[in-house]
Amino acid sequence: MRDFWLSWVYLFGVLTGIFLAVRFILPYVLPFALGAALAVVIEPVVEFAQRRGKISRGLAVAVVLSLVMLAGLYLLYLVVATLIGELLRLYQQLPHDYAASLVRADELVRLFGEALPALPDPLRLSFEAQVAALYQELTELVGGLAQGVGRAPALVTVWMVAILSAFFISRDRREINRFLLNLLPAVWRDRVRRANADVLRSVLGLVNAQLVLVGLTAAFATLALRLAGVAYAGAIGLAVGVLDLLPVLGPGLIFLPWSAYALLTGQPGLSAYLVGVYLVMAGVRYAVQPRLIGRRIGMHPLGTLLALYLGVQFFGVNGLLIGPLAAIIVKALVQSGILPLFPGLPASPR
């Protein structure tokens, strides 16, 4: 019994350590953390290239990383080209749509101005508070986007360091693992080795789940936009899929401003349709996400949902990623026997 409660104390210490590491250490080592994550993701491809191509591990890592960078740049090009094309089309239509937008906005302001005084005071005050909160959130969003553009050079530096660190971590993976294991007592090494293998498998499963969700979002958005007769539906759907990697807002960065623009230019049907597509897409994603991620990382959907919820509570929108990662680490520690919380739970395979 004493060991059981001691394990729960250790679990609390592990969770506290994860929280403190994310809060205070991760910002300073972010490029290397991204590099380590990238090294984990490309590991199966590196081993395949090394085995089939009969080349050195260093060359295999360099080739795979180069392909990853080219694919990322190509996706970025598609997204930027799509946005530029839409902005140019908007610029050409702007003189005509500007007048219509002003008329529509005046009508909306007049309608709200007439309807608000007729509402009961509690409803009117609540509505005004919601409008003020929405205005504040939009202001913060615009400010955040502006800050993100200003931080672009720093982000480029972070990703360059991440790519370089991924190369060295992947190339010298065995030596690094051996060095870290030798720092531990001999009695712990086998358990840590099993926990590490479990974490790697689960992280790859988490990445796979996120890619599946992105693919579903892109396919659904493309189909919905094609049904509405929207031009460039395929390119916009791809951009929506890429934006789905951003927590919470994601595709809303395209659909919500687009819906507001359609409403102001006298297209209420298209505006409602875009909002409906966004809501259905978000609802399906949040319904499927716990089950899909849970299956990929070997957890019950309820446990995955709890990890997502607690992650958001402690880390905000970034917790949608940090929560499952913390759950993966705890699960690996329990199954390897390092944290024997549940003595009947089978240990992970060697």
In tens, the pLDDT along 261-312 reads: 777 777 788 888 988 998 898 888 888 888 888 888 888 888 888 888 888 8
Q: At what angle do helices 268-297 and 319-335 cross, to 10 degrees?
A: 10
b/e string for 207-244 if b means 16 or more Cβ within 10 A?
eebbeebbebbbebbbebbeeeebeebebbbbbbbbbb
Residue 164 in this model has a pLDDT that exceeds 60? yes
The full set of domain ranges for the chain reads: 1-176, 187-341
pLDDT of residue 60: 92
* Tens-digit pLDDT profile for residues 63-114: 999 999 998 888 777 767 766 766 666 666 656 655 565 566 566 666 666 6
Judge contact between 213 and 47, C-beta under 8 A: no
The overall average pLDDT reported for the chain is 78
- Show the CA angle centred on residue 277, arms to residues 276 and 282, nearest 5°: 100
3-state secondary structure the chain: CHHHHHHHHHHHHHHHHHHHHHHHHHHHHHHHHHHHHHHHHHHHHHHHHHHHHCCCHHHHHHHHHHHHHHHHHHHHHHHHHHHHHHHHHHHHHHHHHHHHHHHHHHHHHHHHHHHHHHCCHHHHHHHHHHHHHHHHHHHHHHHHHHHHHHCHHHHHHHHHHHHHHHHHHHHCHHHHHHHHHHCCCHHHHHHHHHHHHHHHHHHHHHHHHHHHHHHHHHHHHHHHHHHCCCCCHHHHHHHHHHHCCCCCCCCHHHHHHHHHHHHHCCCHHHHHHHHHHHHHHHHHHHHHHHHHHHHHHCCCHHHHHHHHHHHHHHHHHHHHHHHHHHHHHHHHHHHCCCCCCCCCCCCCCC
Q: Please tell me the predicted confidence (pLDDT) of residue 345.
A: 47
Say if residues 328 and 199 touch (Cβ distance below 8 Å).
yes
What is the model's pLDDT at position 62? 93
Q: Which of 341, 336, 46, 57 is nearest to 204 (CA)?
A: 46
Alpha-carbon dihedral angle through residues 292, 295, 299, 301, given to the nearest 10 degrees:
40
pLDDT confidence of residue 171: 92
Report whether pLDDT(167) > 90: yes
CA distances, 36 to each of 88, 153, 219, 318, 332 (Å): 40, 22, 30, 18, 18
pLDDT for the residue 349: 47
Cβ proximity of 218 and 241 under 8 Å? yes
Q: Report the sign of the C-alpha dihedral through residues 25, 26, 31, 33, in that order.
A: positive
pLDDT-derived band at 323, boundaries 50, 70, 90: confident
CB distance 284 to 277 below 8 Å: no
Phi, psi of 262 (to 5 degrees): -65, -40
What does the pLDDT look like over 24-35, one tens digit per residue?
Answer: 888 888 889 888
Q: Using pLDDT thresholds of 50, 70 and 90, give the confidence band for residue 9.
A: confident
Given a cut of 60, whether residue 145 has pLDDT beyond it is no
pLDDT of 97: 59
Residue 158's pLDDT is: 84
pLDDT of 13 reads 81
pLDDT tens-digit map of 210-269: 888 888 888 999 899 888 888 777 778 887 887 777 665 678 778 888 888 777 777 788
Contacts of residues 141-150 at CB distance under 8 Å and 24 or more positions apart, as own/partner, are: 141/249
Sorted by sequence, the CB contacts under 8 Å of residue 159 that are 6+ apart come out as 31, 34
- Which residue is listed with tokens 């190369």? 167
Residues 49, 52, 54: CA angle, nearest 5 degrees: 90
How many residues are listed for the chain in this entry?
350
Per-residue confidence band for 342, with pLDDT thresholds at 50, 70 and 90: low
- Give the tens place of pLDDT for each residue, 177-186: 888 888 888 8
Q: Which tokens in the block code for residue 201?
A: 């498998």
95 vs 10, higher pLDDT: 10
pLDDT for the residue numbered 259:
84
- Greater model confidence, 185 or 139: 185
Confidence of residue 146 (pLDDT cuts 50, 70, 90): low
pTM of the full predicted structure? 0.65
